[in-house]
Chain A
Amino acid sequence: MENAAQFFLLLMLSPLVTGVIRTLKARLQTRRGPGILQLYRDLQKLFSKGMVIPETASWIFTVTPWIVFFSTILAGLMIPMVAAEAPLGLFGGVLAVIYLLGLGRFFLALSGMDTGSSFGGLGSSREMTISALAEPAMMLAIFTVAIGAGSTGLTEIAGTAIGQSWRFLAPSQMFAFAALSLVLIAETGRIPVDNPDTHLELTMIHEAMILEYSGPYLALLEWAASIKQLVLMTLLINCFWPFGLQPTWFGFGAVEGICWLLGKLLLLSCAIVLLETVNAKMRLFRVPELLAVAFTLGSLALISTFLF
């Protein structure tokens, strides 16, 4: 039951979040923007189209969209969204979530190189560079949170967080939050690191990898990207601002939990939009600097849990 509910929520909510971010950003730049529901329409259109598969592509090319999509969904089912109790608790909890997302990224990078187009290879190499730098920072921040809960299981982490809503004011939590926010920007390909709106830039990262995809496969990848964004955003808000998070998925509490979730997602989206609008995209060689800051913040977070 809760499995199905969260599955549905992930599938249906993620295009909405992307749409809201795009619309808000357009409004902030005094454009009209494409409307909140545009990604749903795009997905529907792409699913009803035929597709072109390059002659040079191997089986990796066809299997990648499925792996990316389902590993992201699986990761999404393991995080607490509405209730602290996650529908699925695999080994390692949050570690499994991170490495499921890593699995998706691995196959995406492979498929970028698979077709032999130079753009795909560039995109893959950039993506791997950035993720290799982002991952340690993310792990450090996550471990800080996990130490507070005494477990890497996300259900336990969210459960402890419920008891102490103001915990994020502790310095170590704040460092971890800052580190994880920077990682979120890098991982979801948002503006100081990558531009999510275009595949016409030479410096694109995510878009370069999926440049050869079309039709339903492209739809799967786009959908997976927006689900990944939702998963990471939810992870961030429910670890650090557990307001309104319900202990279990029962009855009326679930509705309240969903309302809180939507509110917090909206707030975080506003923050992302602001950040994207006031910043210009970084040069690729400057990205390691941003991630070094994230790494330092992450290690400070871990250190200060022991020292403060």
Chain B
Amino acid sequence: MLMMPVLDLQFGERIVTLMAALVLVLQIAMVSQRWIVLHIRIFAVQSLLLAMIAATIAWYNHAPHIYIAAVLTLVVKVILVPILFERLVTRMEIHEEIEPIVNVPLSVLIAGGLTLVGYVVAESFYRPDAPGVGHNALAVAISLFLIGFFTMINRRKALTQVLALLSLENGLFLAAISLTYGMPLIVELGILFDVLVAAMVLGILVYRIRESFESMDVSRLRRLRG
């Protein structure tokens, strides 16, 4: 009986590692994706996986407050934000493909390289004796963060940059729950509402940019200079 929780914890850790790996795969898929609607859906699936990771950690560590974070992630990032963005896409009638600055094969390779960097960085945080889900989830989180940054730099259109920002935030969330078993609930709530508000404000901003420049290409904002 005494062994059971330990076994459980190890099994839970494996599941979390697996799902974290899937999250990373989806992040790379996002880098290679050209269709914005698919991009939004991949983001939704990635967030769903994150919510599942949070729920798994909550279950195996008996930390009920993480459930709330999981449910909030589910509601905000899996349902609200994708619906908001898809409506934005239909309203603005975006048909053209995403055109990254660096071409797609090279960006994917760069994303792979950034993952390696993520691992190297995470390795230095790793302590075998310390509790916590371990360096795998942390490495994935750092990689998500780096790839998210790279995607933001790599895209011209405002909406896709916002999506990259959100996936970057997913990395932060993963780091938080996997390292500390969740920040205090109030912080989680703050971050989530932050994201929601940011998504809405940026959505409106994107719409306005589109209205005044007839394009979402942010490089055209340079014309605002006097």
Contacts and interface: CB of A to CB of B under 8 A. Distances in A.
B28 A174 contact: no
B105 A175 contact: no
B136 A171 contact: yes
Contacts of B108: 289, 292-293, 295-296
A289 B104 CA distance: 6
Contact of A169 (B18, B32, B112, B115): B18
Interface in B68-109: 104-106, 108-109
B123 interface: yes
Contacts of A304: 21, 119
Contact of A307 (B22, B28, B106, B123): B123
A296 B111 CA distance: 8
A295 B25 CA distance: 12
Nearest to A296: B112
B25 A178 contact: yes
A140 to B, nearest CB: 11
B53 interface: no
A296 B21 contact: no
Contacts of A59: none
Interface residues of A, number: 21
Contact of B104 (A169, A292, A307): A292
B161 interface: no
B119 A303 contact: yes
A245 B123 CA distance: 37
A284 to B, nearest CB: 14
A174 B32 contact: no
Contacts of B139: 307
Contacts of A297: 25, 28
Interface centre among A174, A290, A304 (most CB of B within 10 A): A304
Contacts, number: 58
A35 B204 CA distance: 54
B17 A308 contact: yes
Contacts of B18: 169-171, 174
A213 B136 CA distance: 53
Interface in A143-168: none
Nearest to B28: A296
A169 B22 contact: no
B105 A292 contact: yes
Contacts of A290: 32
Contacts of A293: 28-29, 32, 108
A230 B109 CA distance: 30
Contacts of A308: 17, 136
A175 B22 CA distance: 9
B109 A175 contact: no
Contacts of A175: 21, 25
Given A295-B108, A307-B139, 19 more contacts: A171-B17, A171-B18, A174-B18, A174-B21, A175-B21, A178-B25, A289-B32, A292-B32, A292-B104, A292-B106, A292-B108, A293-B32, A296-B111, A300-B24, A300-B112, A303-B115, A304-B119, A307-B119, A308-B17
Of all A-B residue pairs in the complex, the 6 with the closest CB atoms, nearest first, are A171-B21, A292-B105, A296-B112, A289-B104, A292-B108, A307-B119
